[in-house]
Structure 1
Amino acid sequence: MIPAEIIIWSEQQESAGVKDAMGHSFTSWLLAVKHSDGTMLRDKDGHQVFQTQAEFKRIQFAKVGQTMELFV
């Protein structure tokens, strides 16, 4: 699934009251950050970078110029 599909699915699970095996909400799951070529983004130490579903939604639906706070 792509991140947008995961978010829709997890919100459906949330509204139905379904939790994961550990009892956590599916909306709390982290999403891997990818480069435009599909490879995973890694930090300077080589660790994979993740973001929350809320961060993903905020970035995807931001207006042009609205995401400048990310680069401060």
Structure 2
Amino acid sequence: MKYKGITAAVAMAVLVAGCQSSSTSSTQKSEFGCLAGTMTGAVAGGLIGSAFGGGTGKLIGAGLGVAGGGFVGHQLTCN
């Protein structure tokens, strides 16, 4: 039960990454890459952030991790 959230997050990231079609234009590929990078960063940040603290601190850490990871993922893939 402890790894239920981690398993769901990894499954979501894999599903998002698997949605890319080879028949899309370069603009659509770029937009998809931007979205996938942002979501992957948010998922990874949330998982890392939730590893610290306990109780409310764990929730705050997950929230900050999602925000920070999403921002970093967006900056790396969209620029």
Q: Which has the higher contact order (CA 8 A, sep 6+)?
A: 2
The structure that is strand-richer by fraction is 1
TM-score class, shorter-chain normalisation, is 0.3 to 0.5
The structure that is helix-richer by fraction is 2
TM-score w.r.t. length of structure 2 = 0.35
